[in-house]
Copies of this chain bind each other. A is one copy, B any other.
Amino acid sequence: MSADQAKSSGRFVPSRRQFLIGGAVAGVGAAAAVGADLVLNRSSSPEAAAALNGAEIVPFYGRHQAGIADAAQAHATFIALDLLPETDRDALRRLMSILTGDAARLTQGVKALADSEPELAVVPARLTVTFGFGPEFVSRAGGNAPTWLRPLPPFSIDKLDPAFTDGDLLLQIAADDPLTVAHATRMLLKDTRSFATVRWTQAGFRRAYGSERPGTTMRNLFGQVDGTTNAQPGTEEFDRIVWAERGWLAGGTSLVLRRIRMDLDKWDRLDRGGREQSVGRTLANGAPLTGTDEFDEPDFEAKTSIGFPVIPEFSHVRRSRPDDERQRIFRRGYNYDERPAGESVSESGLLFASFQADVDAQFVPIQQRLADLDLLNEWTTPIGSAVFAVPPGCSEGGYIGETLLG
């Protein structure tokens, strides 16, 4: 949609109802139309507008969906929907067309088609909307499901709550502004009302825009630098890890979302040295215990003067290290921190989100190794788990899911 179209769709048409309520409706209508233009061009100079992060836009259309290779925004809400019994293949096509249209609009700072609060749509703040399909969605679409599109195998460490597990259709809605996320979430969920119900919603955060230098690896609520070994988007390595190559999923990927509760009270009882041993990295800057810089390669052979490995066998960095080159994933997780219940002073953790071309070949072996032995399991518990096939992007005029439903 062009900027001109956006402006013209923002025009105000007085309805019969307004005349019934009374008041200077015609005058108000004109003022509102002028106001909308002011809002859409709120800065007095183009330079000032360009300088606002709120005005930053991530392109919606493309070979891949947005929200995967883009630098993680400060806020994300993940929503899983359950399809209504009557939502068949045709309905799925209608649903994805409607959602695609509104996602394309909202991410560009344009109001949704039936936007009830259009003034909240004018701050995109790098908004992205990413869709994923669960097994039931693919089955109703009549498509071939990848073999990995099913609940993860049960791990001994799991204490899964159905309230945070599985789902038919996923929306990942992410932006640097929490009001933008709230508005987009509401507009998109309204689109889904005749097709599906909300199964779960999980909201997370990272450092705000402007808090740190761009590119700083995130810290989780344990204070750990989290995500150092991620491949860099734009590299061949990243493409190999993330993008699927075959069938309707070509140019797509998979999303594994695990809700990992972190027991901060118990973590508090561990001293700093113990924490660094459990991870295998320093807390200060995330360097491996054998190095000085965050991005130094860990030396698993190094021994202390009394013969112990410097990086313990049971440390997270050692256990999560791939056995073979294919076991790589791309992480794009968020912290969560919610109203605690009872005597606890926090209910906190990590929305572990990873993208990979093949869940079974890339994610499962790592998770299995960590479930078998990882000192961090003492302080963390997976309480939610979901797997989605993330279809490729689309061009203007197309819709997300068209390679499956078209």
A177 near B283 (CB under 8 angstroms)? no
B346 near A23 (CB under 8 angstroms)? no
For A343, list chain B residues within 8 Å (CB).
197
A284 near B31 (CB under 8 angstroms)? yes
Closest Cβ of chain B: how far from A318's Cβ, in Å?
A: 12
Stretch at the interface among A137-145, A203-211, A394-402: A203-211
Interface flag for A260 (CB, 8 Å): no
B117 near A272 (CB under 8 angstroms)? no
A178 near B74 (CB under 8 angstroms)? yes
CB 8 Å contact bits of A306-342 with B (1 = contact, 0 = none): 1011101000000000000000000000010101100
Interface flag for A42 (CB, 8 Å): yes
B339 near A264 (CB under 8 angstroms)? no
For A14, list chain B residues within 8 Å (CB).
273
The CA of A83 and the CA of B75, in the complex, are separated in Å by 34
Interface flag for A36 (CB, 8 Å): yes
Interface flag for A345 (CB, 8 Å): yes
CB 8 Å contact bits of A2-31 with B (1 = contact, 0 = none): 000000000010110110011111011101
The CA of A292 and the CA of B306, in the complex, are separated in Å by 78
> Given A17-B271, A190-B345 in contact, is the A213-B285 Cβ separation under 8 Å?
no
Interface flag for A1 (CB, 8 Å): no
A208 near B207 (CB under 8 angstroms)? no
Interface flag for A352 (CB, 8 Å): no
Report which of B185, B198, B213 forms a contact with A42, defined as CB distance below 8 A.
B213
A211 near B28 (CB under 8 angstroms)? no
The CA of A272 and the CA of B16, in the complex, are separated in Å by 11
B53 near A273 (CB under 8 angstroms)? no
For A206, list chain B residues within 8 Å (CB).
179
The CA of A308 and the CA of B335, in the complex, are separated in Å by 53
Interface flag for A212 (CB, 8 Å): yes
Number of copies: 2
Stretch at the interface among A95-103, A119-127, A227-235: A119-127
The CA of A190 and the CA of B116, in the complex, are separated in Å by 42
Interface flag for A201 (CB, 8 Å): yes
Interface flag for A298 (CB, 8 Å): no
For A304, list chain B residues within 8 Å (CB).
22-24
B283 near A32 (CB under 8 angstroms)? yes
Closest Cβ of chain B: how far from A149's Cβ, in Å?
A: 26
A210 near B209 (CB under 8 angstroms)? yes
Closest Cβ of chain B: how far from A12's Cβ, in Å?
A: 7
A31 near B287 (CB under 8 angstroms)? yes
A209 near B212 (CB under 8 angstroms)? no
Stretch at the interface among A62-70, A152-160, A274-282: A274-282
Stretch at the interface among A85-93, A218-226, A356-364, A382-390: A218-226
Which of A208, A264, A267, A335 has the largest number of chain B CB atoms within 10 A?
A: A208
Interface flag for A132 (CB, 8 Å): no
Report which of B283, B346, B348 forms a contact with A119, defined as CB distance below 8 A.
B283
CB 8 Å contact bits of A33-60 with B (1 = contact, 0 = none): 1111011001100001000111000000
The CA of A116 and the CA of B263, in the complex, are separated in Å by 13
Interface flag for A366 (CB, 8 Å): no
Given contacts A21-B274, A54-B212, A198-B345, 19 further A-B contacts (CB under 8 A): A18-B274, A21-B277, A23-B310, A24-B310, A32-B272, A32-B283, A34-B292, A35-B282, A35-B283, A35-B284, A42-B212, A54-B211, A117-B283, A176-B211, A178-B178, A182-B346, A186-B264, A189-B346, A208-B209
Could you give 13 example pairs across A and B, Cβ below 8 Å? A23-B289, A23-B312, A27-B310, A28-B276, A28-B289, A31-B282, A35-B283, A53-B211, A117-B283, A119-B223, A179-B207, A182-B205, A185-B337
